[in-house]
Amino acid sequence: MILKVNGNEFEIEAAARTLLEVLRTDLGLDGTKEGCGVGMCGACTILVDGKPISGCLILAEQVAGKEILTIEGLAKGKQLHPVQQAFIDERAFQCAYCTPGFILTTVALLNEDPNLGEGEIIEYLAGNLCRCGSYQNILNAVRKANESRKSVADVIT
């Protein structure tokens, strides 16, 4: 089975394993975190064809051939993605365990509808939990990323 991850193709042994396990164990992409393991925390969020998916809930074979984006594939060389930069600028984390999932969900959110209001943003991000309670700074980062999106041409992948 072929997995397309961050623009590269990988031959993976077909087996009933979650995408999260394959990313972390086979491909060494441990930026995707395991929290609850049952679809409740969002720590394992990755993008599949641009949509946020919980890697702990889906088998790798279910996304064979689709475009998978993990946090490792977001920056362009040394140039951070604007959402990553906004999270740093707004100090939108403490331990940062939740951060890759929040960042990828935010990328999908801003791609889908950059004009969402505050309540809708909160609703969109509701599947991502932060045990450190950095929610206010995360919201600030989402707003900041959206502003920079409007001022830079190709900010959101």
Nearest to 92, CA basis, from 26, 143, 51 = 143
Cα–Cα distance, 45 to 71 (Å, whole number): 9
**The one segment of 67-75, 103-111, 128-136, 144-152 that binds ligand FES by CB under 6 A:** 128-136
Smallest separation, CB 120 to ligand FES (Å): 21
Smallest separation, CB 99 to ligand FES (Å): 6
Q: Does 134 bind ligand FES (CB under 6 A)?
A: yes
Q: Which residues contact 50 (CB under 8 A, 6 or more apart)?
A: 67, 69, 108, 111
| Rg value, the chain, Cα | 15
Of the candidates 51, 76, 91, 131, which one interacts with ligand FES according to CB under 6 A?
Answer: 131
Q: Does 54 bind ligand FES (CB under 6 A)?
A: yes
Nearest to 105, CA basis, from 90, 88, 83, 120 = 83
* Of 14 and 95, CB closest to ligand FES: 95
DSSP state of 50: T
Smallest separation, CB 62 to ligand FES (Å): 15
Cα–Cα distance, 110 to 24 (Å, whole number): 26
Q: Does 35 bind ligand FES (CB under 6 A)?
A: yes
| Tokens 């279910």 -> residue | 62
Q: Does 88 bind ligand FES (CB under 6 A)?
A: no
Of the candidates 52, 93, 107, 146, which one interacts with ligand FES according to CB under 6 A?
Answer: 93
Residues that bind ligand FES (CB under 6 A): 34-37, 39-44, 54, 56, 93-98, 130-132, 134
